Structure 1
Amino acid sequence: MTFELDRRTRRDSERRAVQAQDFFASQFARLAAEHGSMTAAGMAALSAPPLSLDVDGSVWTILRDGATVCARPGTVEDALVVTLSPAEFSDWAQNQITFNGLLVARTLQFRGGTLRDISIWDSLWITMLEGWPTVEAGLVFLDRSGAPLDLNASFTSRDDPAEIAHFLREAGYLHLRGWFDPADMAAIAADMDRALPHYAEGDGKSWWAGMNDGSRRCVRLQEFIEHSPTTARILSSDAWQRMRQIVAGQNRLAHVPVEGRIIEALFKPVGVKSGPSDVSFHRDCHLGRHAYVCARMTVGIALTPTSEANGLLRVVAGSHRVAMPVEIAKTEPYLPVVALPTEPGDLTVHLSCTLHESRPPVFAERRVMYTEMPLEPLDANRGAVDTSVGELRERVSDILRRVDGAVPAG
C-alpha cells in the first residue's frame, strides 16, 4: 500500500483552550484507547521514563500500565518532569508546539530527565495524539512491483513519474539527477555573491553564524528571488512545473507565487563554530504543527557539488512512517541512514516528517537553495492560521546569537 502523503488531521479553526484538568479527565482516556498500546510499546522499546506534567502547580503523570498507558495525579519516582504554563499545555495537547519547539525558544523547563528523554517523549506524544508509531518491527521498503526498494536510487526527468512519486511516499525522500543546467547553477551562485551586500545581521531576512576565527558569516538569504533572475526563470519553467506534478502524484499542491520568500539561498562555509548553518538530524515539523501542515515537501537545488568527503544531505529512510526520536537518530538510529551526494543541477526532495541533516563542509564551501511545496489548503483551514512556529523558525538566528555557542535542537 502506498503511504499517504497528507497527514493533516487537525484544523486551526478547531483550536481552542484546553485545560489540563479537563484533558486528563476526559480526552486522555479516548487517546489511550486508540493509541495507548502503541505508545506503551514505544516507551518499552526506548526505555522512556514516565512523563509528569506540572501545569500551574497541578501535576499529572503518564506512565505504562501493562500493555497500554494511563494518567495519574501527582508524580512518580524517576519521572521526567516538565513544567508548562496553561497556555503552553493547551498548545502542546493540540500539537501546536512540541517540547523541542519550547526548547528552541529557550522556554522549556524540565527536571529529572535528559534531552534524550525530552526527544523520546516528543515522538511518544505524537504517537499518542496521532497514532504515528515510534517503533515498528519489520519495516520494509518496496517498489511498485513488491520487490525491495533500492534506497540509494536516483531518478532523471526521463524516468517513470509513477515510480518517482511512489519512491517519495515509500522512503520519504528523493534524489533527482540532472534536472537543471549546471551553467544556471553557477549563475545563481554568482547572484548570491552580488546579493550579499543587501543583507545585514538582524535584518529579519538573513541568518548568520559565528566562525572559528571569530568573524560572523551570512549563511541564509531570504527574499533571494529579488536578486536572481535565473532562479525566477527556473521556478517559472515547464521543467519545474513538471517536477511539481510528478512528486505531487494524486495529491494537490498549493500554488505559491514566484516572489517574496518562495526560496532561500544558503551558504555552507567551512569553519562554522555556532549558529544555524549545518543542523544535525531534525524534522521540519519537529517544532510543532505536524498534524496541521504535513506532509509538505522541501526541495533542495544543488548549486555546488556535495559529497561524503565534503558534506551533504543525509536522510533517515522511513522516518516519515516511524517517528524515531531526533536524539536517537543522532546516536543510535534504528532506521536506514542514506547519504544523497549531488552535482550542480540535481534536486533533493524530502517530506517535512522525514528526519534529515546537513553534514558540515570539510574543505570547500557549499551552496544550495531550498523551497517548500505545501499541500493545497483544506477548506476548513483557509481562515486564520497559526504562524507562531514559522515565526519561531525565522527567529532561530537571533535566539542563538544571544546564547553563546548554542545550536538549534532540531
Structure 2
Amino acid sequence: METTEDFDGFHERALPKRLEGDWGAVAARGSSGLPPLAFRLPDGRAYTYVPGKSGVEVVAGDGGAKTVVELDEALWRGLLSSMETPSGLILFQKAKVLSGEVSDFVNWEPALRVLYEGLPPYDPQAPLVGSDGREIDPSTSFHADDDPERMADFLRTAGYILVREVLPSNEVEDLLEAAEALRASARQGEPTSWWGKHQDGRTILTRVINGGSDPRIRSLLRDPRLLKIVRLSDVDLEATDTDVIHVLFKQSGMVFDGKSDNPWHRDCGLGLHKVMCPIMNGSLFLRSANRDAGELRFLPGSWQTAGCSVADQDSEIGVGIEANPGDFALHYGDGMHAGPPPRAKDGPFRSSVVFEFGPPGRRPEEGQEYYDMQMHDIDAGQLR
C-alpha cells in the first residue's frame, strides 16, 4: 500500500479509510480466526488490529492485543511496502514478539497482505477458471509439444505447470552424477549446504545450494528446452546466472526444521517481494517425486492472492504433482507451495535441481540468493 503517512497517520487515517469501504468485509474474511495483533514502536506508540465479523478495527495502544510485536518504524514500513515479512523479521531477529506466540504473528502474514497490499485472501473453494471461461483440472500435466496457448493459460491460472519428459534419461543420469558429487563434497557448517537432524540423531545433508559450481548443472540456466517453458509466462523473465542453484535431497524421518521438509510458504516469504517478484522457480526432477518419495504441493491460483494461513502438517489440501526423472515443474514464487516429508521409510527419495528466473537485469542480491546464503545455520522451526 503506497502511502506517505507515518506510523500514526497510517493507522489513524489511511488504513481506517480503506477499511470503511467494501474492503472491510474482505479484510474480515482474510483475518477470520486470528487473535488481535499489535505493532509497537520502541518509543511505546502502538496500534492493534482486531478482527471482527464485518471488518478489522484499528485501535490505538496494545492493551487488547494477544500478540504484541515490537519493531522500529523503518521495519514496519518494510512490512507495509512488501519488503519485509513476519517470517523474515523473526528468523533474522529484526523484531521481537513481546507477548503471545510467534506462530500467531506468522499466521497474520496473509491478513497483513490483505490490509497492506490490497490483495484478496485465498479461497480454496473458488473454481479455477481459464481464459475460455471453463474450469480447469489443477492436476493437469503437459508435454513440451502441447499447445503453447493452452499451457500458458494453465500456468497463468494455476500459477504452476508440470511438463513431462523434458530431458532424456541419459542426461538426467549425468546430472544426477553431478548432484551426487556435490553432495559428497559438502561440509557441515559451510553456507553452501543445509543439514537437518534425523529422528535417530544423525545429521544429514538435505540440500546443497552451490549447484551452479558444476558446469553441467549451471548449463541448465541456458537450456532451450527449459527456457521454452519459461517463455510461457506473461512476464519477461531470465535465469539468474549464479552459483546459487539448489539441489534437493529428500529424506524420510527428518525432525522438522522448516528446511528439510518445507511447510506451506511462498518463495518471497522471507522478504524482498517488492524487488524480487515476479519470480519463477523451476524444478528439474532427477528422481521421482510422489507421496512416498516426497512430493511438491501447490495451492492452485494462490499466486495472485494474499495466500492463507495453513497448518504445516496439512498435506491433504491443494494439489500434489507426481513427477518422473526428466520432468520439469515451473511455478510463480508468490504461489503457496509445500514439500511435505516422504511417506516411505526407505528410498530412493525425491532429488531435484531448483533454480530461479526473475526480471531481466536483476542483481543476485535482489533475489532469493540474499536469504539462501544466510539460512544454513538457522532453524526455521522456531516459526511454529
TM-score of the superposed pair, with normalisation by structure 2: 0.86
Q: Is the 8 A contact 2:37 2:105 kept in 1?
A: no
**SS state at 1:305 partner:** coil
Shift of 1:371: 0.6
1:84 alignment partner in structure 2: 71
Q: Distance in 2 between matches of 1:177 and 1:255?
A: 21
Shift of 1:121: 1.7
**SS state at 2:108 partner:** helix
**Counterparts in 2 of 1:135 and 1:227: CA distance versus 1, 3 Å:** closer
**Counterparts in 2 of 1:325 and 1:124: CA distance versus 1, 3 Å:** same
Q: 1:42 aligns with which of 27, 30, 47?
A: 30
Q: Distance in 2 between matches of 1:144 and 1:388?
A: 30
Q: 1:372 aligns with which of 356, 361, 366?
A: 356
Q: 1:177 aligns with which of 164, 168, 181?
A: 164
2:335 alignment partner in structure 1: 354
Mapping of residues 273-352 of structure 1, within 5 Å = 273-275=255-257, 276-328=259-311, 330-331=313-314, 337-352=318-333
Give the counterpart letter for 1:38 in structure 2: V
Q: Which moved more, 1:78-87 or 1:306-315?
A: 78-87
Shift of 1:136: 4.5
Q: Distance in 2 between matches of 1:156 and 1:135?
A: 29
Structure 1: gaps of 5 or more residues: 1-8, 401-405
Q: Is the 8 A contact 1:284 1:352 kept in 2?
A: yes
Mapping of residues 382-393 of structure 1, within 5 Å = 387=366, 390-393=369-372
**SS state at 1:399 partner:** coil
Residue 266 (1) aligns with residue 248 (2):
yes
Mapping of residues 149-298 of structure 1, within 5 Å = 149-229=136-216, 231-245=217-231, 247-248=232-233, 250-254=234-238, 256-257=240-241, 259-261=242-244, 263-275=245-257, 276-298=259-281
Percentage of identical aligned residues: 22
Residue 407 (1) aligns with residue 376 (2):
no
1:6 alignment partner in structure 2: none
Structure 2: gaps of 5 or more residues: none
1:51 alignment partner in structure 2: 37
Give the RMSD, CA atoms, in angstroms.
3.1
For residues 104-137 of structure 1, the C-alpha deviation after alignment (integer angstroms, 9 at most, x for no partner) is 2255433554455323421111111111112549
**Counterparts in 2 of 1:388 and 1:41: CA distance versus 1, 3 Å:** same
**Counterparts in 2 of 1:98 and 1:31: CA distance versus 1, 3 Å:** farther
Give the counterpart letter for 2:10 in structure 1: F
Q: Is the 8 A contact 2:47 2:60 kept in 1?
A: yes
Q: Distance in 2 between matches of 1:385 and 1:191?
A: 23
Shift of 1:185: 1.3
**Counterparts in 2 of 1:374 and 1:185: CA distance versus 1, 3 Å:** same
Q: Distance in 2 between matches of 1:139 and 1:278?
A: 28
**Counterparts in 2 of 1:74 and 1:366: CA distance versus 1, 3 Å:** same
Shift of 1:299: 0.6
**SS state at 1:369 partner:** strand
Aligned residues: 378
Give the counterpart letter for 1:49 in structure 2: P
**SS state at 1:311 partner:** coil
**Counterparts in 2 of 1:27 and 1:79: CA distance versus 1, 3 Å:** same
**Counterparts in 2 of 1:388 and 1:62: CA distance versus 1, 3 Å:** farther
Q: Is the 8 A contact 2:221 2:239 kept in 1?
A: no
Give the counterpart letter for 1:145 in structure 2: D
Shift of 1:173: 1.3
For residues 169-216 of structure 1, the C-alpha deviation after alignment (integer angstroms, 9 at most, x for no partner) is 211211111111122112111112223344322322111122234332
**Counterparts in 2 of 1:360 and 1:394: CA distance versus 1, 3 Å:** same
**Counterparts in 2 of 1:254 and 1:234: CA distance versus 1, 3 Å:** closer
Q: Is the 8 A contact 2:28 2:51 kept in 1?
A: yes
TM-score of the superposed pair, with normalisation by structure 1: 0.81
Q: Is the 8 A contact 2:240 2:356 kept in 1?
A: no
Q: Is the 8 A contact 2:193 2:205 kept in 1?
A: yes
Q: Is the 8 A contact 1:36 1:128 kept in 2?
A: no
Give the counterpart letter for 1:264 in structure 2: H
For residues 302-357 of structure 1, the C-alpha deviation after alignment (integer angstroms, 9 at most, x for no partner) is 00012222321111112223433343475498xx5111011000011121111111
Shift of 1:295: 2.9
For residues 29-82 of structure 1, the C-alpha deviation after alignment (integer angstroms, 9 at most, x for no partner) is 454357444213323xx2223322221112212235784434232135354322
Q: Which moved more, 1:265-274 or 1:177-186?
A: 265-274
Q: Distance in 1 between matches of 2:75 and 2:240?
A: 31
**SS state at 2:302 partner:** coil
